[in-house]
């Protein structure tokens, strides 16, 4: 007699294998996609994922290196110190009287070891401007008010030194720190306001100085309950005042150069034209 065929010991039950299980088994056998750099031949291959570009935070504060102003202060080569509020006059060993002077519009009191107008502006003024990029508030305030005092005491000496202070100003702006940018802008405003012909001489340097202003120009818009009461501490308003002053003192080409660097800037200077000859009907 013929023997019956014995069934297999582990029969495969096709009814128990669903389509979902089959898809999971096929997906498990597939190789995981590779992450490849962008703009390469590997990005054209199958089963690859292109690596996205890294995110850059343009408003992130950058590390601040030690400035030349701090080195000169530690070495004792800066002829100015912060004076106390009580002592206005002091007598030195040579029986000379040193008078402490208060900067106009500020509570900061300076004591010059020599008359500031007798200093070499080509040597000392760029050092004070370099101190605006210092991360230490006491050194930055000393550099700020000393630079403002030098501008007020010798306004005619600022124009020859102007090319040497562009890089220190740019270094202060590139720190991306609001307090440093505000202090640098205030010194720049004082230069344009007091020193003659500085506003027109700054026009070729707008490309080095106004790049950061384009980032923070609208910083204080829609802050809800985070509005700063003091206008001098709002970076957007300080930039607005600076651009207005640059346009007023920069000559006929200042507006075009500011507009090139800051496309959203609108002129704040009223046009000078003969309104008595203006016809409201025909517009001429």
User: What pLDDT, in 10s, does the model give residues 75-86?
Assistant: 988 998 887 654
Please report whether residue 35 resides in a domain.
Answer: no
Q: Between 128 and 90, whose confidence is greater?
A: 128
CATH number, residue 113: 1.25.10
Give the residue among 212, 222, 215, 142 at the shortest CA–CA distance from 172.
212
Of how many residues is the chain composed? 284
Lowest mean pLDDT among 1-10, 48-57, 211-220: 1-10
Angle at 236 between CA 230 and CA 237, to 5 degrees: 50
* 97 and 91 Cβ atoms separated by less than 8 Å: yes
Please report whether residue 36 resides in a domain.
Answer: no
Please report whether residue 124 resides in a domain.
Answer: yes
Q: Tens digit of pLDDT for each residue in 144-164?
A: 999 999 999 999 999 999 999
Q: Between 106 and 236, whose confidence is greater?
A: 236
Please report whether residue 274 resides in a domain.
Answer: no
Please report whether residue 81 resides in a domain.
Answer: yes
Number of domains observed in the structure of the chain: 1
Segment 34-57 shows an average pLDDT of 87
Segment 259-270 shows an average pLDDT of 86
Segment 12-36 shows an average pLDDT of 71
Segment 245-255 shows an average pLDDT of 91
Segment 224-229 shows an average pLDDT of 65
Does 2 score more than 60 pLDDT? no
Kind and range of the H or E run holding 102: strand 97-102
Lowest mean pLDDT among 71-75, 84-88, 225-229: 84-88
Does 136 score more than 80 pLDDT? yes
Pairwise CA distance, residues 200 & 180, whole Å = 25
Extract the tokens encoding 3: 């023997």
User: Quick one: DSSP state of residue 116?
Assistant: G
Please report whether residue 248 resides in a domain.
Answer: yes
Instruction: Give residue 163's domain range.
Output: 68-220+231-261
Give the residue among 109, 104, 100, 148 at the shortest CA–CA distance from 125.
148
Taking all residues of the chain, what is their mean pLDDT, rounded to a whole number?
A: 81
pLDDT of residue 24: 78
């Amino acid at each position: 007699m013929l023997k019956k065929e014995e069934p297999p010991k582990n029969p495969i039950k096709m009814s128990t294998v669903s389509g979902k299980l089959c898809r999971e088994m096929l997906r498990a056998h597939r190789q995981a996609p590779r992450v490849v750099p962008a703009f390469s031949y590997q990005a054209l291959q199958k089963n690859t994922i292109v690596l996205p570009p890294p995110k850059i935070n343009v408003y992130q504060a950058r590390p601040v290196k030690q400035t030349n102003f701090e080195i000169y202060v530690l070495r004792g080569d800066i002829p100015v110190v912060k004076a106390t509020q009580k002592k206005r006059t002091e007598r030195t060993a040579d029986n000379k009287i040193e008078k402490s002077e208060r900067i106009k519009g500020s509570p900061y009191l300076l004591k010059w070891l020599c008359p500031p107008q007798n200093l070499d502006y080509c040597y000392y003024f760029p050092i004070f401007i370099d101190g605006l990029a210092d991360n230490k508030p006491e050194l930055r305030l000393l550099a700020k008010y000393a630079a403002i005092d030098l501008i007020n005491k010798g306004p005619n000496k600022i124009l020859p030194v102007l090319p040497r202070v562009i890089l220190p100003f740019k270094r202060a702006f590139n720190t991306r720190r609001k307090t440093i940018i505000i202090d640098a802008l205030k010194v720049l405003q004082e230069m344009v306001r007091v020193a003659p012909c500085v506003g027109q001489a700054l026009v070729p340097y707008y490309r080095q100085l106004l790049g950061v202003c384009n980032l923070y120009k609208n910083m204080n818009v829609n802050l809800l309950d985070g509005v700063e009461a003091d206008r001098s501490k709002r970076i957007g308003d300080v930039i607005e005042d600076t651009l207005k002053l640059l346009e007023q003192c920069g000559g006929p080409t200042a507006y075009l150069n500011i507009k090139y660097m800051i496309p959203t800037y609108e002129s704040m200077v009223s046009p000078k034209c003969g309104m008595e000859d203006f016809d409201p009907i025909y517009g001429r």
